[in-house]
């Protein structure tokens, strides 16, 4: 890659819109990995995404591998591997009898089919891998046919049958989107985006655990909704019929990813419970061990809205004395300084809940859709006090989901793929009719005034 950024071409990852710089003459068919979201994409896809965007903003991380070395290694290594396998097979079986070779040939088939499947699932999902595996398998059979014919052998019916049937296995499952042939294909859910998920009767699979969990939400298509995955770091997003690729979405750090049934998940990483966890760890190290229930009790017993922090302030990214950092932020912003665990925890939880409202307003601005309810998913969701804070801060009903929501969603995704459930809407109706969910209703309007205070701090 050139040393000067002036000689590089600006492209964008079509998934997360992260900006990269590449040589102007790079081949459009080259696949690279985005440093932000980890997804692989072709340069031709990145160019189409770049046309929608402005190139005036600051530079983001460059692509990890160089374009020239990636293509060079690929197109020199693969032919050498194929030739090496052919030569090794010839040397190993040139003096063997028919049954011995057929057993060896069966082993070649198993190895190539397993290797091609593994590579497509773990490294590069492209039909080229299947073609390479087929070339190795069929080439070995052709070499045997030629050498055996020269040696006077005449019975090749079993060998030819194995070559035909074995070759079909490499191209048995075609991608439903017409993107080529290969092992695994894609499941029958439109827009699943998960090549290698099994297809057909082998059950479907989404592009990740988040879409699986969202498939099991009791959401209704008649109401705009958002979801919040709680944890040390949280993820707030919504489900849309198409990606949002506007400059506003990019500037606000929103990302697009594939959902179930051709949908798109617009998401943004935001503050989670890490600050509380670090406070708990610090107190435990200084002989003040507090379990989660006790911390929530102390927070509930503390006065509301005495102080607020910006939970995304850079000082809270490092794990040192977190209670001290909370106090320092309050001191610098001219607010009352919380000193005991209860007021500190309440300050942090209220600030995080109000920050979610800020992210929700940003999401509303880029989508033009105001969420009318929020679904909480993830292991950090067992916290009634925090749920009440989130509900009142957002001023929308909040619905909590069980911890096994991902499993429920995965089962429903497979049911759709197998034709047992007609659509994603039908799957979610089944969830609504089968499970009971706890709903928190907003009440305290005083959170509106607190949000105005938080906006000044962020």
pLDDT in the model for residue 125: 64
pLDDT in the model for residue 140: 86
Counted domains in the chain: 3
pLDDT in the model for residue 370: 92
pLDDT in the model for residue 331: 95
Compute CA distances 199 → 174, 188, 204, 423, whole Å.
Answer: 9, 6, 6, 16
Cα Rg, the chain, nearest whole Å: 28
Residue range 142-155: average pLDDT?
A: 81
pLDDT band at 23, cuts 50/70/90? Answer: low
Q: Are 264 and 354 found together in one domain?
A: yes
For residue 70, pLDDT over 70 is answered with: no
Closest CA to 230 of 352, 351, 354: 352
Domain boundary among the residues 65, 87, 108 is at 65
For the record, the structure tokens of 194 come out as 């998960």
Is the residue at 144 inside a domain?
A: yes
Q: Are 265 and 318 found together in one domain?
A: yes
Is the residue at 180 inside a domain?
A: no
For residue 48, pLDDT over 60 is answered with: no
pLDDT in the model for residue 333: 93
Is the residue at 179 inside a domain?
A: no
pLDDT band at 414, cuts 50/70/90? Answer: confident
For residue 51, pLDDT over 80 is answered with: no
Closest CA to 440 of 404, 403, 396, 405: 396
CA dihedral 71, 75, 80, 81 (to 10 degrees): 80
For the record, the structure tokens of 187 come out as 């499941």
Domain boundary among the residues 170, 201, 233 is at 170
Parallel, antiparallel, or unpaired: how do β-strands 439-440 and 398-400 relate? antiparallel
Which is more confident, 361 or 129?
361
Percentage of residues of the chain with pLDDT beyond 90: 31
Q: How far apart are the first and last CA of the chain?
A: 38
The sign of the dihedral angle between the CA atoms of 291, 233, 428, 369 is: positive
Is the residue at 175 inside a domain?
A: no
Region of poorest pLDDT, from 63-67, 90-94, 114-118, 448-452: 63-67
Q: Are 375 and 416 found together in one domain?
A: yes
For 193-213, the pLDDT digits (tens) are 443 343 334 344 444 456 778
- d(C-alpha 369, C-alpha 364), whole Å: 5
Which is more confident, 197 or 402?
402
For the record, the structure tokens of 23 come out as 């040589």
Is the residue at 181 inside a domain?
A: no
Q: Are 263 and 358 found together in one domain?
A: yes
For residue 282, pLDDT over 90 is answered with: yes
Residue range 376-383: average pLDDT?
A: 71
Q: Are 111 and 235 found together in one domain?
A: no
Region of poorest pLDDT, from 114-123, 243-252, 346-355: 114-123
Q: Are 311 and 423 found together in one domain?
A: yes
pLDDT band at 366, cuts 50/70/90? Answer: very high
Is the residue at 253 inside a domain?
A: yes
pLDDT band at 20, cuts 50/70/90? Answer: low
Is the residue at 178 inside a domain?
A: no
Closest CA to 344 of 358, 330, 359: 330
pLDDT in the model for residue 193: 40
For residue 409, pLDDT over 70 is answered with: yes
Per-residue H/E/C for the chain: CCCCHHHCEEEECCCCCCEEEECCCCCCCCEEECCCCCCEEEHHHHHHHHCCCCCCCCCCCCCCCCHHHHHHHHHHHHHHHHHHHHHHHHHHHCCCCHHHHHHHHHHHHHHHHHHHHHHHHHCCCCHHHHHHHHHHHHHHHHHHHHHHHHCCCCCCHHHHHHHHHHHHHHCCCECCCCCCECCCCCCCCCCCCCCCCCCHHHCCCCCCHHHHHHHCCCCCCCCCEEEEECCCEEEEEEEECCCCCCHHHHHCCCEEEECHHHCEEEEEEEECCHHHHHHHHHHHHCCCCCCHHHHHHHHHCCCCCCCCCCCCCHHHHCCCCHHHHHHHHHHHCCCCCCCCHHHHHHHHHHHHHHHHHHHHHHHHHHHCCCCCEEEEECHHHCCHHHHHHHHHHHCCCEEECCCCHHHHHHHHHHHHHCCCCCCHHHHHHHHHHHCCCCEECCCCCHHHHHHHHHHHHC
The whole domain housing 31 covers 5-65
pLDDT in the model for residue 200: 39
Q: Are 164 and 298 found together in one domain?
A: no
Q: Are 308 and 429 found together in one domain?
A: yes
Which is more confident, 184 or 214?
214
Q: Are 140 and 282 found together in one domain?
A: no
For residue 448, pLDDT over 70 is answered with: yes
Q: Please provide residue 41's backbone torsions phi and psi, each rounded to the nearest 5 degrees.
A: -150, 155
For residue 69, pLDDT over 60 is answered with: no
pLDDT band at 356, cuts 50/70/90? Answer: very high
pLDDT in the model for residue 325: 95
Burial per residue of 102-112, b for 16 or more beta-carbon CB atoms within 10 angstroms, e otherwise: bebbeebbeeb
Computed over every residue of the chain, the mean pLDDT equals: 78
For 296-346, the pLDDT digits (tens) are 999 999 999 999 999 999 999 888 899 999 999 999 999 999 999 999 999
- d(C-alpha 194, C-alpha 184), whole Å: 9
If one counts every other C-beta atom within 10 angstroms of the C-beta of residue 24, the result is 8
For residue 93, pLDDT over 60 is answered with: yes
The neighbouring-strand residues paired with 233 are 271
Q: Are 21 and 75 found together in one domain?
A: no
Is the residue at 176 inside a domain?
A: no
Which is more confident, 363 or 141?
363
Q: Are 96 and 146 found together in one domain?
A: yes
Domain boundary among the residues 119, 136, 170 is at 170
Tell me, what CATH number does 336's domain have? 3.30.420.40
Q: Are 89 and 205 found together in one domain?
A: no
For residue 273, pLDDT over 80 is answered with: yes
pLDDT band at 348, cuts 50/70/90? Answer: very high
Region of poorest pLDDT, from 201-215, 361-375, 444-458: 201-215
Q: Please provide residue 376's backbone torsions phi and psi, each rounded to the nearest 5 degrees.
A: -100, 125
For residue 112, pLDDT over 70 is answered with: yes
């Amino acid at each position: 890659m050139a040393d000067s950024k002036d000689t590089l071409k600006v492209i964008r990852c079509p998934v997360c819109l992260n900006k990269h710089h590449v040589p102007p003459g790079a081949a459009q068919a080259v696949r690279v990995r985005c440093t932000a979201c980890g997804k692989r994409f072709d340069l031709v896809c990145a160019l189409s995404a770049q046309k929608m965007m402005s190139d005036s903003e600051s530079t983001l991380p460059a692509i990890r591998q160089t374009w020239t070395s990636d293509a060079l290694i690929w197109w020199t290594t693969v032919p050498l591997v194929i030739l090496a396998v052919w030569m090794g097979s010839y040397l190993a079986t040139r003096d063997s009898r028919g049954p011995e070779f057929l057993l060896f040939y069966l082993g070649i088939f198993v190895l190539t089919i397993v290797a091609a499947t593994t590579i497509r699932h773990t490294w590069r999902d492209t039909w080229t891998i299947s073609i390479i595996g087929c070339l190795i398998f069929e080439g070995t059979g052709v070499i045997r046919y030629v050498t055996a014919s020269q040696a006077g052998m005449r019975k090749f019916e079993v060998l030819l049958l194995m070559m035909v049937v074995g070759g079909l296995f490499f191209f048995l499952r075609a991608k439903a989107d017409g993107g080529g042939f290969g092992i695994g294909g894609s499941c029958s859910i439109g827009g699943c985006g998960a090549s290698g998920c099994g297809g057909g009767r082998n059950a479907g699979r989404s592009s990740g655990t988040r879409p699986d969990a969202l498939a099991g939400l009791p959401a209704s298509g008649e109401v705009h909704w958002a979801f919040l995955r709680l944890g040390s770091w949280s993820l707030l997003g919504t489900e849309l019929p198409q990606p949002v690729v506007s400059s506003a979405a990019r500037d606000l750090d929103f990302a697009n990813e594939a959902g179930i049934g051709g949908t798109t998940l617009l998401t943004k990483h935001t503050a989670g419970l890490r600050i509380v966890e670090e406070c708990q760890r610090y107190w435990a190290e200084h002989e003040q061990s507090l379990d989660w229930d006790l911390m929530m009790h102390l927070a509930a017993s503390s006065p509301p809205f005495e102080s607020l922090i910006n939970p995304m302030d850079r000082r809270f990214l490092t794990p040192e004395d977190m209670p001290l950092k909370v106090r320092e932020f309050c001191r610098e912003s001219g607010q009352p300084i919380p000193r005991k665990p209860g007021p500190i925890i309440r300050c942090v939880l209220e600030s995080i809940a109000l920050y979610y409202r800020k992210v929700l307003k940003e999401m509303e601005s880029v989508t033009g859709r105001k969420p009318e309810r929020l679904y909480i998913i993830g292991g950090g969701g067992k916290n009634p006090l925090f749920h009440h804070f989130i509900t009142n801060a957002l001023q929308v009903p909040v619905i909590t989901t069980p911890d096994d929501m991902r499993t429920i969603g995965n089962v429903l995704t497979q049911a759709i793929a197998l034709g047992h459930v007609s659509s994603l809407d039908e799957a979610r109706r089944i969830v609504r009719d089968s499970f009971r969910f706890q709903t928190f209703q907003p009440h305290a309007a005083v959170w509106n005034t607190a949000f105005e205070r938080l906006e000044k701090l962020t």
